[in-house]
Structure 1
């Protein structure tokens, strides 16, 4: 118990220091897993405020798609057609670099690009198999009514929407605990989020390859928002810390790199998170 208590205090102090140095507005919720296996709060900073989640909400989209798989209505090896009108011009990811359409990819491939290189076209591919209204219904039924996508006129199109730091944390905690999806879908989703190609500029920036594999993470950015949420696992593979960090207004809005003040702060926090939960 003293180790976990010290971990919470260490994480709390690091968050206060890093967020204050970065400036701007933060909404955050971070928990450390206690000796009984339950999450114990280390940071609660305006965690119930509704925020634009940006690409962090791609995890919620993936949860809804995998819930469709779990209900037997979809399979990861089903193929979807990538047409030129689906490709987001100038968006993040790799589909916009292809230049050869139409083509076909599996749902599993779409989810992998959605969560690793944060592909925006993959959002539209997910909408082909799980419409916006269904995504929101699935998330609400699982206990996350404020974690939503924004429907468009076409029911198979949507924009990434809103969440709260607390709900994003709780969704990730439920994923790590195995209560959100089937064992197969849980393993798939955590495997993608922990993969070497997943986001490395923030929480995982100053970690070794082995250390990065202990972290499942997803970042989101747009305008002056720089967000990241995920799970840190201990060396034995148990979830040790869950974090949701949403930051706005630090300036340097055109900088999407690792030197942005909020992104730099997350890199420092990531090192603290990992070291505090390595016992």
Structure 2
């Protein structure tokens, strides 16, 4: 912890700090109760400073470096609540799997690939010790569909799925596609094998713009847009951070993607209102904090994001997306008992 916010300091920050202070030390079941005071504000102009104060408190608790861009929908132009080091190009790690998926789906939108096309999975393709499902399977070679690859890429952040995406969309094409769509800093890092890449870089501002373009429907076809948002909002998508202290219905309103490697703990996504319209877009890139070997929910940055996620949801509870904004249907979770 690099700095401390005592009671006098918190009170000195006024109403915004008071709203942010409910984030500290609250159990999941209680975290939503103080949030009702935050949701009393019914306009982006009132919500923005409260979110900014909440973020500053969490930043002071974790220390390290933060690259952040966070906005509220407010008509034609979003209202920026927080923007810090937003143009610093950093390793985006698995957050860039959204960008990889965009490039693959762009090929599908252009008729060069299909979701049901099969991809061969060789034992040599599987990332040893990597995150995801493929590494757990001991029966290779095998084959899966492109749709299966994308589902694993964006939900459980499967590392082997990244390599499989490279088989159907080489690194150079991924970068050309992203640059052509207006994202020159969101690029994978090609390796000597044209089908292999590291996940590469982005900036908080550019990832924010990519997410807003996705939700607006200007990045991909309607069917491809719906697929990405369905995967990022699914019950098996990342739940340690922003979505941790939310109900299943609340989690379905948040599309999120995390990325973790070395000392970085990133997360980026969109909060939707109950009609499926976006109300808040966040990019939280963080690195340089303590506990770098802990990739679980107890990492200080991941805990900070969990508190912020609860606050984001409560603070925007009375906000509604703009009248002409696209609505993305929120799927109801239907657990099964087999059969």
Q: Tell me which interval the TM-score lies in, with the shorter structure as reference length.
A: over 0.9
* 2:45 is the alignment partner of 1:5: yes
How far has the Cα of 1:250 moved from its partner? 1.1
> Which residue, out of 228, 231, 244, partners 2:283?
244
* 2:45 is the alignment partner of 1:23: no
TM-score by length of 1: 0.98
CA distance in 1, matches of 2:138, 2:78: 46
CA distance in 2, matches of 1:2, 1:227: 29
CA distance in 2, matches of 1:92, 1:202: 17
RMSD of the alignment, in Å? 1.0
Matching residue of 2:190: 151
How far has the Cα of 1:229 moved from its partner? 0.2
TM-score by length of 2: 0.81
Q: How does 1:159-198 map to 2 (within 5 A)?
A: 159-198=198-237
3-state DSSP class of the match of 1:170? Answer: helix
Matching residue of 2:142: 103
Instruction: Please list every run of 5 or more consecutive structure 2 residues that lacks an aligned counterpart in the other structure.
Output: 1-40, 319-339
* 2:257 is the alignment partner of 1:218: yes
Matching residue of 1:269: 308
How far has the Cα of 1:40 moved from its partner? 1.3
Consecutive aligned runs of 4 or more in structure 1 exceeding 2 Å deviation: none
Larger Rg: 2
* 2:76 is the alignment partner of 1:44: no
3-state DSSP class of the match of 2:240? Answer: coil
Aligned length: 278
How far has the Cα of 1:273 moved from its partner? 1.0
3-state DSSP class of the match of 1:161? Answer: strand
How far has the Cα of 1:7 moved from its partner? 1.4
Matching residue of 1:260: 299
CA distance in 2, matches of 1:259, 1:37: 38
How far has the Cα of 1:66 moved from its partner? 0.4
* 2:133 is the alignment partner of 1:84: no
Matching residue of 1:229: 268
